[in-house]
Amino acid sequence: MPNTNYYSAWSSKVKSLLLGLLLAAVALPDSAWSAQQSEFTENLSGFYSRDGNNGSPAQAAGNNIYIKFFENRWIGMMFIPYPYAIKVDAPVITRVFDAARKQASSAALMKGKYKLLAEAATIQIERYGYLEDRIVFECGSLSPCTIKLGDDFLELIKPGVINEHIVRYSHVATP
């Protein structure tokens, strides 16, 4: 009677099954994400302005806040001191963002006038990634911030001690 190694035959079938499951687990999220990502994409033209800029939120915070997306998954957040920020128009904000991005070869926190402003602005340049249907980046808090994109707006979600802070930003198109 020949010796049959049932364990070896069973082991190779289990390995094949596990390999198939692993490949499916890796491939499915990518295809599901590519469908989600096509719904909204980051707008590289212009910038986003916090709702409440030039109003009481800006007065309480002491600055107007703007967000801009750059190529190759870079994001910038600019803080222009209030009330001076009221005098700064959209094309200047875009040029300041571009000047700061040219100076930063990696993630950076910079402060300056960039030969365009009368008062120094603070600009944070960071890389961003994706998590499900959101953009994720470091924003100077304990946990990363996330951005949920909409049609001509975004919602910045900052982690808080008790609950999240959601701040809406409107898209500002610039020539």
| pLDDT tens-place string over residues 33-76 | 344 444 557 788 899 999 999 999 999 999 999 999 999 999 99
Q: What is the pLDDT of residue 23?
A: 40
Angle at 69 between CA 67 and CA 73, to 5 degrees: 135
Structure tokens at 56: 């009481």
pLDDT band of residue 15 (cuts 50, 70, 90) is low
Q: Which residues pair with 157 in a beta bridge?
A: 146, 166
For residues 132 and 126, give the distance between their C-alpha atoms in angstroms, rounded to a whole number: 19
Opening angle at CA 47, ends 31 and 165, nearest 5: 75
How far is it, in rounded angstroms, from Cα 75 to Cα 125?
6
pTM equals 0.76
SS (H, E, C) 44-88: CCCEEEECCCCCHHHHHHCEEEEEEEECCCEEEEEEEECCHHHHC
128, 121 in Cβ contact below 8 A? Answer: no
**pLDDT category of residue 16 using cuts at 50, 70 and 90:** low
